[in-house]
Amino acid sequence: MYALLTGQAWAAESPPNYRVGVEDVDYYPIFSAAPPDYLYRGYARDLLDLFASHERIHLTYVPLPVRRLSHEFRAGRLDLIFPDNPRWEVAEKRQLTIAYSKPLLVFQDAMLVRPERLGEPLQNYRTLGFIRGFTPWKFQEQIAAGQVQIKHSPNPQGLIHMTLSGYIDAANMAQQVAHYHLKGQPDSLVIEPRLLPLQDSHYYLSSIQHPQLIRRFDNFLAREHKAVRALKVKYGLE
């Protein structure tokens, strides 16, 4: 009887565990899970950890390549994924019912160029840089027409170096990420809005199997809005 009661008490105290699929890329300070240790860190990690603490659950972060991440999620082998967006992979998701949270972050996607190139004819920007694993879907027409080529880097610092050296004509990243990595040299690269007009984009947490957990997360965002804003300020994302 003692052993049974002890086992029941242990089970009652053990929080439910959810597997969160995350991208194995370096996009710090928003998120990063990069070699050699693939330790998940950044704003998203702190926010999700805070949610888990408040809700008394445990989150296990599973870093995966971007394409495999989507496949594992659709196959039901992940409880949650971040980041996600209803506008991504629309055809592949058509047969699924996916619950999306309120935005974890609002950001502006930008194309960065050297200052002396600002205002050049758009046809001069033929080589564009993206984080490896990110899909340049906003440039699909130009890619299909052979007007631009895409080069990749594993992290924002690499894209900045490639742009400054002239290896690529412009680099794609959230302007908040650019601000973080250009500290000390803020004028070395500037935004060329004609390549990609600045507009709000959003990152969401999503789930197929646990819509109720997404609702709990939304309630957490509303209830703890001051703590969420403090994390954004901490990482320079406000």
Same domain, 206 and 100: yes
What is the band of 5 on the pLDDT scale with cuts at 50, 70, 90? very low
Q: Check whether residue 67 and residue 19 sit in a common domain.
A: yes
Is 1 a member of any domain?
no
Residue 100 shares a structural domain with residue 211: yes
- pLDDT single digits (tens) 111-156: 999 999 999 999 999 999 999 989 898 899 999 999 999 999 999 9
* Percentage of residues of the chain with pLDDT beyond 70: 95
Kind and range of the H or E element at 19? strand 17-23
Handedness of CA 68, 72, 75, 79 (dihedral sign): negative
**29 is written with which tokens?**
């300070």
Q: What is the pLDDT of residue 35?
A: 86
Q: Quick check: 132 and 159 in contact, CB under 8 A? A: no
DSSP, collapsed to helix, strand or coil, labels residue 139 as helix
C-alpha distances in Å from residue 14, one per residue of 7, 55, 79? 11, 13, 18
pLDDT of 237 strictly over 90:
yes
Co-location of 135 and 183 in the same domain: yes
Question: What confidence score (pLDDT) does residue 68 get?
Answer: 93
Residues 25 and 71 in one domain: yes
The pLDDT mean for the chain works out to 92
Whether residue 31 is contained in a domain is answered as yes
Structure tokens at 129: 């840089």
Assess if residue 65 is contained within a domain: yes
68 and 44 in a single domain? The answer is: yes
pLDDT at position 100: 98
Based on the fold, state whether residues 138 and 180 are members of the same structural domain.
yes
Residues 170, 117 share a domain: yes
Domain ends where: 191, 210, 225? 191
Q: What percentage of residues in the chain have a pLDDT greater than 90? A: 83
Q: What is the pLDDT of residue 10?
A: 46
Confirm whether 66 is domain-assigned.
yes
pTM for the predicted model, two decimal places: 0.89
Same domain, 98 and 174: no
Q: How does DSSP classify residue 16?
A: P
Say if residue 183 is in the same domain as residue 74. Answer: no
Averaged pLDDT for residues 22-49: 95
Give the C-alpha separation, 109 to 197, whole Å: 8
Check pLDDT > 50 for residue 107.
yes
> Which pLDDT value is given to residue 8?
53
Which domain range does residue 88 map to? Answer: 15-105+202-234
- φ, ψ of residue 159 to 5 degrees: the values are -65, -40
Measured distance CA(46)–CA(101) in Å, rounded: 17
Pairwise CA distance, residues 128 & 149, whole Å: 6
ω before 36 within 30° of 0 (cis)? Answer: yes
* Structural domain includes residue 216: yes
Question: What 3-state class would DSSP assign to 79?
Answer: coil
Instruction: Kindly tell me if the per-residue pLDDT of 1 is higher than 50.
Output: no
Residue type, 101: S
Cβ-based neighbours of 237, under 8 Å, separated by 6 or more: 29, 30, 43, 105, 107, 176
Q: For 178-186, what is the mean pLDDT?
A: 88
Structurally, how many domains does the chain consist of?
A: 2
According to the model, what pLDDT value does residue 186 have?
72
Q: Which residues pair with residue 153 across a beta bridge?
A: 131
**2 band by pLDDT with thresholds 50, 70 and 90:** very low
| CA distances (Å), origin 187, targets 18, 27, 114, 191 | 43, 21, 9, 10
CATH of the domain at 57: 3.40.190.10
9 located within any domain: no
